[in-house]
Structure 1
Amino acid sequence: MPLYRDAGADVEDRVADLLGRMTLDEKIAQMHAGWLKLSPDGKHEWRIADFAQRTTGVSVDSLLEHGLGQITRPLGTHTVDPKEGVRALNELQRRMVEETRLGIPVMSHEECLVGLMIKDATLFPAPLNYAATWNPELIERVGAVIGQQARSIGCHQGLAPVLDVSRDPRWGRTEETLGEDPYLVGVMACRYVKGLQGEQRDLLATLKHFAGHSASEGGRNHAPIHVGPREFNDIFLLPFEMAVKLADAGSVMPAYHDVDGVPCHEDHSLLTEILREKWGFDGLIVADYAGVNLLYTHHGVARDAASAAAMSFNAGLDIELPGHECALHLKDALARGEIKEETIDSIVARILTAKFRLGLFEHPYADPENVALRGEEASRVAYQAAVESAMLLSNDGTLPLDVERTGTLAIIGPTADDPLALLAGYSFPVHLINAGEHAGAPMATPLQALRARFGASRVVYAKGCDVIKERSQGAPVYPGDVEMNEAINQSRQSLISTDTGQINEAVAAAKQADVAVVFVGDLAGLFQSGTVGEGSDTDSLDLPGVQQALLEAVVATGTPTVAVLTGGRPYNLGGLEDRIAAEIMAFAPGEGGAEALADLLTGAVNFSGRLPLSVPKSAGAIPFVYNHKLKSAGTPIAYHFGSRFPFGFGLSYTKFEYSDLELEQAEVPIEDGAAVLRFVVENVGMRAGTEVVQVYVRDCLASAVRPVRELKAFARVALGPGQRGKVRIVIPVDMLNFTGHRGERIVEPGQFDLMVGSSSRDIHLNATVNVVGEGTRVLPRNWRMLSEASVVVDETAAESVVAGAVAG
């Protein structure tokens, strides 16, 4: 038996043995994927798409002759019964193991951002919802459920989570982010990664999009980003650094854009010097779909496919996804001296290492009879994520609705009875729209859930308008797929409806009701098949289509109006915020969203969600983020600057008061110190509720301009009526760092303001800590990245957590 087949041998020895046996063709085969429609009978077909894997003239048999690194979305490419999909994947695997010379198994990857993106998998809320829970433990459970479902279909790598830090809500992929604060993003991402990968790391999470994708010009997809090296490191790289060092993430995916003229897929500094050498990353770097190809078709930095492949692999890439358009030309690049075989060997060694670590050689097949995609636990976790993420932004006392006493309820709006309106763009039913397929979403709508609560006779429904009358495929994916002059000078007809013909029916419904609940917002859809999602960017924060006119007409009836916003970005209500009875922002709450919203509207449960990003006053206020610099407001302060509802904000059906702030030490050493705060939070209302306490820091004097405040700690504090919670927060001095002029993370001695609040705006307690030491301190590789929080409720019950805990 060859050494590489000995499961008891060291992985390093197995890799060396197998690599030494491989031909150049067999090595190159491991460096790319195949995007096929698999069949249990082995008659696999190409999956051809304009935006990725165009026809190359290569037969499927030729592609598979020497093996294959990965198979792209075997169950998620099109609608297939999961058991049949596993049988088809097993047949491909059998061919790799039994009919190729060396029998190297293939890795399978799927999308899994909001649940496994295949037929019948659990439909979880959007990542914005994950962040809005401010509950890292819950998001780890979400990741664990998704990981269990992925393993059951033979998936080895999940293309999630997204660590892009939101900077412009016009960007369609805002829904995929975990908000605008790098620490919150990092904490939540770490817990998702730990849940998805499990203790054995036998399923690889993929951190994306590395890095800065969310800071694109004008919020336009793929557009360049313009940030300095300090901001790039402190804002956009920090979550990735956390997930690599704290959660041992198994894979990273570069982004499509360029940074100062350098596309991420060819950036050696980013992929090798920072990620591997500086941070110690030991996993796989996989291309974003067609990202290698774009180096010569769009960016214009490579002369052909061979050069594009050489550039990417020299920079640090390991595997081209989703197909083989460029990797198959590596022999040409090798002959031209654009890449060395030693570089190819080192890449293939990393790929083989991953496959050995995953146990793929010993367990290449999945059991189709053990596919497990649904269950009570998965549904419960999906519901919990939905209920903890919905945010109450205003309430004049109309909420909660009394199921017994409220008379007639008008349910109005284009998203009230559309299950797809509760789903994010990377959910399977939504993703299929742009592929020309339509799949149902087996889930309740808000209308159905509220009818069940109040009875059909007490609920009157009117749609009021459409967001999009008929869902269909959207626009060309990439700039460059159409002539640029044509794209700039000719406007494409939008799918968004401008028909106001249904508004009168909604007005009539509101007039006969005691309360009107109006559901408005987005429809997720890729590449302009919806109003939000990848490639569905916008130029406005006004509600899409005629929804604003609908809401204005309902409010004008005088009936108390509750606005419920769902979708993938925050929207303004054109001044109606001051005239409506209540406003709820629920983002895309997934399959449990309808029941969660019904429970929250009726007070069966209390609101505890908090905004993970600011709601700018208008598109003209963009960019606006809470952690801006002082002069960002302009001089004088621009009238349009700011946010009505700030980062961290959210109300509930009870009230909380803060008191008794104490610092354990007014001075802390710069080498190993920590700022330790103690304070009390009291529930002074009549209902049980959960407060999300937040601690912000401001560096009073620094060698570089610093933000007005930055989140450094948070904790959920659950209290019954009249209960008091004693909170203790520990913020390591390391977390007071920023990037110095040499690109190193540094901490400087001096004063730091500590602000305890219920949002980035609503600060209730203040203190100042003095960091003392002899000069500036450069942080080591493994610096302390997490704060800690502990809560003692009424002296009787204690709970200690790491705020964003990735340990213990």
Structure 2
Amino acid sequence: MTRSLELDEAGEARLAELVSSLTLDEKAGQMFHAMAFVDPSAIPAEDGLPLLPGPVHDYVVKHHVTHMNLVNVLTPAEQARWYNALQVLAKQTGSGVPVTVSSDPRSAATERAGASHAAGAFSAWPEPTGLAATRDPELARRFGDAVRQEFRAVGIRLLLGPQIDIATEPRWSRISGTWGGDPTLTGELASAFIEAVQTPELGPDSVATMVKHFPGGGPQKDGEDPHFAHGREQVYPGGHLAEHVAPFPPALAAGANQVMAYYGMPVGTELEEVAFAFNRQVITGMLREGLEFEGIISTDWGVLNDHEIMGQPFVARAWGIEQLDPPARTQRALEAGVDQFGGDYDSSLVAQLVRDGRVSEARIDDSVTRILREKLRLGLFDAEPLDPTKAADVVGRADLVAAGLEAQRRSLTLLTNGDPAHPTLPLSAGIKVFAPDIDDAVLFSYAEVASSIDDADVVILRLATPHDHRQTTIFESNFHSGPLDVPADELAQIRETLAARPTVVVQNLERPAVIPEIAAEAAALVGDFGSSDRAVLDVLFGRAEPQGRLPFQMPRSMEDVLAGDLDQPHRFTDPLFDFGHGLSYSNAPRSTESN
């Protein structure tokens, strides 16, 4: 069951009057969610009446769009001023509907270009997989509250997340944005996060959430991503669709007000083989009727029109109906039950369908009512301008930064630690350390910085997750796909280092790396889900305990990756490290149960 999303009697009356007051073109504009580049030159020195020239102006004035997904953000004070200027512009239009500003996650200690953003001025936390490694719902709740405070301060009122896909295909490039490979743990932690971001009841102090990607990404054929035509197929060879849907009921019960349908096209199931955004069996049958979801259903970005990404042409992700023109694609999505189109602004597509008699205005009113109800619940119509000084005070506040750093430390997962009788970690203060991937200025406060391997007592290597470094397009190069094992030449160089000096390997686990040789030969092996040098060194030198436990299995070989049903959670019978594995400094395994 999902929560009731209705307003009180007076609020519902206000909503009905608002919907009836809009023209058809204004209604159509509510159903599009454009990408907005924040131009610093358009921000006045003081809040006033700027024109916000360029695309943002045209989205609001010409296309009646009232949802903007930020491509970039400025300093907190500048961002607050830009937000205020945007709302002034919106009030000057005929409808006066305020703009909902949204963002992908912006709270990570590391960058995942194309999917989320490094924290910048915001507090920096591990990726969701790192939060899953802590097994702590209260920490997920603290993370959500930090996101709420910082986003709210600069006018971001909708988080395009959390991503509650289940990581069953280890080659998939978007695993680091998930909460791991277990449906139950994902539902538990993501629900706690959602409750904190949205507050118990969605209101003026809330940030709304858009959970994604229904009905669960993850089982992508060959691990490819459906942003691209070669990754459009989503497969269920073991019949485990239910496990991928499983996190959504608790997320909706926690109050999530929006759901994003993924690009993928189901293959080999009883579902029609068209992308989920156009699939009535999925959108209306499974989500609206099966899960009784009353909130807003959005497409993923860019499913209607061909467009450019990073200066290069990109086809619409209308998998299974590529032959249809944009108006027909729009009609298919509306018939499937979609309310809003992500990453687009061409509101004429919807308006013309109504004028041509292909879609009823009553159908449009259903979606517009849901969309405007959220704006009313968030208090956008009655909100005062943001205070730029307060925005600067809240974003990156010391207690939020400290909480994020502590979460980074807690997420680090000790996988091996040498001989139990003589463990490698924690390292002794003041030893000579060669760490080519760590900032010497940070390392200096923990150890003597060695100039070479030969001069070191211990080597620390921070290794990236293996991937195949594609050169197809700039955008696709951001999606780290392909094999999970280390290329032979790179592995040979790493093993030379492991043999030359005791070496602590800090392995980033953006995906579950296949590293049996490194695990066997490293003096110690630590799994990293997005942590700063300082957080890593705090743990390696014993200033903090490693508390993480793997949020997914780590396969032993690529042969294992290619075998079995890739839609099945925890499918490896003999993994290199199992789900829940993690040591303490006594080398005792940590419990795999949730806290």
Deviation at 1:524, TM superposition (A): 10
Is 1:577 the equivalent of 2:589?
no
Aligned counterpart in structure 2 of residue 310 of structure 1, from 309, 326, 331: 331
TM-score (structure 1 length as normaliser): 0.63
Distance 1:630 1:182 in 2: 8
The superposition leaves residues 717-743 of structure 1 with CA deviations (integer Å, 9 ceiling, x where unpaired) of: xxxxxxxxxxxxxxxxxxxxxxxxxxx
Structure 2 residue matching 1:453: 3-state secondary structure: coil
| Cα gap change, 1:401 to 1:512, in 2 (>3 Å) | farther
Deviation at 1:65, TM superposition (A): 4.4
In the alignment, residue 582 of structure 1 is paired with which amino acid?
A
Distance 2:196 2:176 in 1: 21
Is 1:548 the equivalent of 2:491?
yes
* Kept in 1: contact 2:466–2:484 (CA 8 A): no
Distance 2:238 2:285 in 1: 14
The superposition leaves residues 408-433 of structure 1 with CA deviations (integer Å, 9 ceiling, x where unpaired) of: 22224xxx23xxxxxxxxxxxxxxxx
| Cα gap change, 1:543 to 1:630, in 2 (>3 Å) | closer
In the alignment, residue 523 of structure 2 is paired with which amino acid?
A
Is 1:693 the equivalent of 2:572?
no
Matches within 5 A, 1:20-39: 20-38=20-38, 39=42
In the alignment, residue 314 of structure 1 is paired with which amino acid?
E
Query: What is residue 650 of structure 1 aligned with on the other side?
Result: 582
Query: What is residue 92 of structure 1 aligned with on the other side?
Result: 86
Distance 1:138 1:210 in 2: 25
* Kept in 2: contact 1:272–1:315 (CA 8 A): yes
Query: What is residue 392 of structure 1 aligned with on the other side?
Result: 414
In the alignment, residue 399 of structure 1 is paired with which amino acid?
T
Is 1:204 the equivalent of 2:208?
yes
In the alignment, residue 337 of structure 2 is paired with which amino acid?
G
| Cα gap change, 1:368 to 1:323, in 2 (>3 Å) | farther
Structure number with higher relative contact order (C-alpha < 8 Å, ≥ 6 residues apart): 2
Structure 1 unaligned residues grouped into runs of 5+ = 1-6, 48-59, 418-444, 462-508, 634-640, 657-690, 695-713, 717-808
Distance 1:521 1:692 in 2: 25
| Cα gap change, 1:513 to 1:552, in 2 (>3 Å) | same
Structure 2 unaligned residues grouped into runs of 5+ = 1-6, 44-49, 109-115, 268-272, 306-314
Query: What is residue 111 of structure 1 aligned with on the other side?
Result: 104
Matches within 5 A, 1:629-668: 642-654=574-586
Deviation at 1:364, TM superposition (A): 5.8
Distance 1:533 1:126 in 2: 20
* Kept in 2: contact 1:523–1:531 (CA 8 A): no
Deviation at 1:530, TM superposition (A): 12
| Cα gap change, 1:350 to 1:407, in 2 (>3 Å) | closer
Distance 2:469 2:24 in 1: 38
Query: What is residue 269 of structure 1 aligned with on the other side?
Result: 281
The superposition leaves residues 360-407 of structure 1 with CA deviations (integer Å, 9 ceiling, x where unpaired) of: 111163222221211221112111211111111111234224435x64
Aligned counterpart in structure 2 of residue 603 of structure 1, from 542, 546, 549: 542
Query: What is residue 259 of structure 1 aligned with on the other side?
Result: 266
Distance 2:172 2:129 in 1: 13
Structure 2 residue matching 1:400: 3-state secondary structure: coil
Is 1:403 the equivalent of 2:397?
no
In the alignment, residue 614 of structure 1 is paired with which amino acid?
Q
Distance 1:143 1:529 in 2: 36
Q: Choose 1 or 2 for highest CA Rg.
A: 1
Structure 2 residue matching 1:156: 3-state secondary structure: strand
Distance 1:530 1:82 in 2: 32
Matches within 5 A, 1:647-726: 647-654=579-586, 692-694=590-592, 714-716=593-595
* Kept in 1: contact 2:570–2:579 (CA 8 A): no
Distance 2:279 2:238 in 1: 14
Distance 1:530 1:383 in 2: 34
Distance 1:587 1:632 in 2: 22
| Cα gap change, 1:364 to 1:264, in 2 (>3 Å) | farther
Distance 1:527 1:114 in 2: 27
The superposition leaves residues 681-713 of structure 1 with CA deviations (integer Å, 9 ceiling, x where unpaired) of: xxxxxxxxxx7533xxxxxxxxxxxxxxxxxxx
The superposition leaves residues 69-108 of structure 1 with CA deviations (integer Å, 9 ceiling, x where unpaired) of: 31221xxx235333222222222211222x2223211211
Structure 2 residue matching 1:114: 3-state secondary structure: coil
Query: What is residue 78 of structure 1 aligned with on the other side?
Result: 72
Aligned residues with identical type, % of pairs: 25
Distance 1:240 1:296 in 2: 23
How many residues matched? 545
CA-based RMSD of the aligned residues comes to 3.2
The superposition leaves residues 148-187 of structure 1 with CA deviations (integer Å, 9 ceiling, x where unpaired) of: 0000011110111111100122111111111111111111
In the alignment, residue 514 of structure 1 is paired with which amino acid?
D
* Kept in 1: contact 2:413–2:546 (CA 8 A): yes
Structure 1 residue matching 2:340: 3-state secondary structure: coil
Distance 2:274 2:369 in 1: 27
Indicate the structure with greater helix content.
2
Is 1:243 the equivalent of 2:251?
yes
Distance 2:344 2:384 in 1: 21
* Kept in 2: contact 1:302–1:308 (CA 8 A): no
